[in-house]
A and B are shown apart, each in its own frame.
Chain A
C-alpha cells in the first residue's frame, strides 16, 4: 500500500519569507517516483517536479527547491523569498512501480500575504 502524508494543512507566511512544505511517504516498492503539483485559486493542477527513487540529488529551479531524503522517506519543497502568486494548494504524490495509481497527499494550503 502507498501513502503520502502532508501534515501541514495550512501555512500562512508574509511575502519574502522562505517556506518549506513537508511530504512524507510510505511504499514497499524499491523503485518509485515522487511528484509535486500546484493548484492555484483558478483550480487547475500544475505539474512542478518529478523525482526518481534512485536519484537523491536535490534540485533547484529558481525560487523552488526540493529535498529528497530516502532515509526519512521525505520529499520536502521549499519556496525561497515567497511571493503572493505562490499562494496555492500544493500536493505531493507518489507512484510506485508495482501499482498503477498516483497516490496524492491531502495537500497544503499556502497563503502568502503581502
Chain B
C-alpha cells in the first residue's frame, strides 16, 4: 500500500509568489491533516478535514493560507502571497475510521526567499 504522498518535496520561491502544496492521503482514510513544522514552534496543526469537510481550521495562520479537499484522494494547501516566515516543512497526514494513529507523508520543505 502506498503511504501518504506529498508534492513537491522541496519548493523554493520568492516572497509574494503563490505556493501550492499537494497531498494524496492513504486510500480509504477519511481524515486528512495539514501540519507545519518549524524549529521555533515545533509541529502545529493547521487544518483538518473529515470526509472532505474542513472541521477545524483554527490553526491556519492568516488569510494568506487556504486549504481545500475536493475529493477523498486529494488536498491542497495554498499560500498566497508567500512570505519568508512561511518557510517550514509542511506535512500532510491521514487517518482511517478504524484507527486513531495518523500516518504522515514525507513532507514538503518550503523556502521563501
Interface residues of A (CB under 8 A from B): 33, 35, 37, 43-47, 50, 91, 95, 100-102, 104, 106-107
Contact = CB atoms under 8 A, between A and B. Distances in A.
A37 B42 CA distance: 14
A95 B99 CA distance: 12
A107 B42 contact: yes
A14 B2 CA distance: 35
Interface of B: 33, 42-43, 45, 48, 55-56, 89, 91, 93, 99-107, 109
A100 B43 contact: no
A43 B45 contact: no
Contacts of B48: 100-101
Query: Which of B42, B101, B104 is packed against the most chain A CB atoms within 10 Å?
Result: B101
A43 B55 contact: no
Q: Select the residue from A35, A43, A50, A95 with max chain B CB neighbours within 10 A.
A: A43
Given A44-B107, A104-B43, A50 B56 contact: no
B111 to A, nearest CB: 14
Contacts of A106: 42
Given A50-B100, A100-B56, A101-B48, 11 more contacts: A33-B100, A43-B89, A43-B106, A44-B104, A44-B107, A46-B104, A47-B102, A47-B103, A100-B48, A100-B55, A104-B43
B9 to A, nearest CB: 9
